[in-house]
Structure 1
Amino acid sequence: MTPTALIADDEPHLARALQAQLATLWPALQVVAVARNGAEAAEHIAALQPDIAFLDIQMPGLTGLEVAQGIEGRTCVVFVTAFDDFAVQAFEQQALDYVLKPVKAERLQRTVERLQQRLLQPAAADDARLAQLLQRLLPAAATATAAPQAAPTRLRWVRASVGELTHQVAVDDVLFFRADDKYTCVCTADAEHLIRTPIVELLPQLDPERFVQVHRSTVVNLDHLAGTRRDDTSRLFLRLRGHAQELPVSRAYVHLFKAM
């Protein structure tokens, strides 16, 4: 089977240069999409399920880290980064592939060789390493630019307005929160409500012992967890009491449910 890849970089000339280098070093590799930003990369990965995603770290909309966090399939991630030595050491320690900008042919050749070997092996170990790396780097990236804040007050109620009517939704009753375009969907067993507060602002206000993020766009209430299921490709899904549809877990969070 022909191996496939996606390249995501907000600088088109760098994306073209990487594609040209790959064509020389790995002629059999088919680049199925070139994304100009993180959101576009996430959409292409979900639709095309490429074997490999070369993700620039710093992109508008979603960073390469956030795109990797939301991957649900078997796509292997290679970060293309201009990060400092600390981040590079983290990649090395987790045995993940990365290439530094500007991309050098000798370094990319080693990455190609590692990828060719990795595609012949099960992805479970790589998924675990990716999860560990993202857990280390995502909070660090967020706190690096955030000002110090006082300990947050835990939410007890969520206010959702529809016209002149305002619903007071008890947080205890919430099955999950899901990002929905410019809104956040608040799902209970009885109804769904839309609020304008983004998930990234909601999460620090929720009890971390009960509410966990399982996908870039989804936070679930573990109090309502009924069970888990894996499909034929080892993707993990959650079943919640009072909700008919299963919720997918991206591989960055699969480790949270190892005992289930």
Structure 2
Amino acid sequence: MNTPTPIRAVLADDERLMREQLRSRLTEVWPELEIVAEAKNGLEAVELTREHKPDLVFLDIRMPGLTGVDAARQIAQLPEDDDWLVPEIVFITAYDQYAVEAFEQGVADYVLKPAERDRLQLTVARIKKRLAQREGKEVVETSSAPLQQLLHKLSAQVNGAGAKPAYLQWIQATVGQAIQMIPVEDVLFFISDEKYTRVQTAKIEALIRKPIKELVDELDPQLFWQIHRSTLVNARAIDGITRDFRGRQLVGVKGLTEKLEVSRSYTHLFKGM
């Protein structure tokens, strides 16, 4: 007797706690589901889908860099083969405005944050039915025009004119042996070395594993200025600009004696100062 092939899924959410909560709820309502990978942003979601070829992808709608909707559009265009079809998409959102009629028509599905057991059970039932139809070679609109139309509509809502980008609001960092949630607005600066990024506030110094090149895309550029390839500073925390004996610009930070070096590529930020 052949053992049924497990359904495989990828989870994508830029908040680790949200991914863990969704994984826990899915374990309760769909214990046989195999979660093969987790993504922290839309770009990772596309690459992990390309790599693992899952049956199902859960996508947070608002993620920095590449939104879940734009990630879904790229995923829907991945090449299919005899053993793999474009996966079913379930959007995760904290905004009920994105729960449009097309979801209810079965083109895709959605789960509101935080994922509640009863609503997730309904989603699981729908997805199981659609996957069973695919297995039976019935015609399903997974990569058809209705899905593309839905994604186009959602993309216009998420990325539309006047829409405020979804920048990071919290930093989850290690402080000693503890994990702490730090409001982004409290961070004075970020400095990276080869392995960690230091997160400095007026009261604490913490560490994260996210490199500066990722933070640049995830933080509001009006609030955080990159002044060096390894340094981002909170513009509101800048106390002044000085020069050392070698002529290098140094940024003073309010409340701290430490000075941050400005590399030549970023000296234009402080012209006239």
Q: What TM-score, normalized to structure 1?
A: 0.53
Q: Is the 8 A contact 2:61 2:69 kept in 1?
A: yes
Paired residues for 1:1-260 under 5 Å? 1-71=5-75, 72=78, 73=80, 74-85=86-97, 87-93=99-105, 95-122=107-134, 124-128=140-144, 129-145=146-162
Query: 2:107, 2:163 → 1: CA distance?
Result: 29
Deviations 1:100-152 (A, max 9, x none): 111110000011111111111136413223112012222333323269xxxxx
Shift in Å, 1:27: 1.1
Q: Which amino acid aligns with 1:136?
A: K
- Check 1:88–1:146 CA distance in 2 against 1; reply closer, same or farther (3 A cut): closer
Q: Answer with 1 or 2: which has the greater Rg.
A: 2
What one-letter code is carried by the residue in structure 1 that aligns with 2:151?
L
Residues 142-184 of structure 1 show CA distances to partners (whole Å, capped at 9, x for unaligned) of: 323269xxxxxxxxxxxxxxxxxxxxxxxxxxxxxxxxxxxxx
Further displaced range: 119-128 or 28-37 = 119-128
How many pairs does the alignment contain? 147
Q: Distance in 1 between matches of 2:158 and 2:28?
A: 34
Determine the C-alpha separation between the residues in 2 that align with 1:100 and 1:146: 20
Give the distance between the partners of 2:133 and 2:124, measured in 1 at CA. Answer: 15
After superposition, the CA RMSD in angstroms is 2.0
What secondary structure sits across from 1:67 in the alignment? helix
TM-score normalised over the length of structure 2: 0.50
SS at match of 2:160: helix
3-state secondary structure, aligned to 2:114:
coil
1:61–1:85 distance in 2 versus 1, CA, 3 Å: closer
Q: 1:113 to 1:75 in 2, by over 3 A?
A: same
Name the SS of the counterpart of 1:10 in structure 2: coil
- The 8 Å contact of residues 12 and 58 in structure 2, kept in 1 or not, is answered as yes
Aligned residue in 1 for 2:212: none
| Separation of aligned partners in 2, 1:85 and 1:133 | 13
Q: Which runs of 5+ in 1 are unaligned?
A: 148-260
Q: Could you tell me whether the CA contact under 8 Å between 1:94 and 1:132 is conserved in 2? A: no
Q: CA deviation at 1:90?
A: 4.3
Provide closer, same or farther for how the CA distance between residues 117 and 62 of structure 1 changes in structure 2, counting only shifts above 3 A: same
SS in 1 for 2:104: helix
Question: Which stretches of structure 1, 4 residues or longer, exceed 6 Å deviation after superposition?
Answer: none
Partner of 2:100: helix, strand, or coil? helix
Q: Deviations over 1:20-62 (max 9, x none)?
A: 1111111110000011111111110011111000000011111
Change in CA separation of 1:26 and 1:60 when aligned onto 2, cut-off 3 Å: same
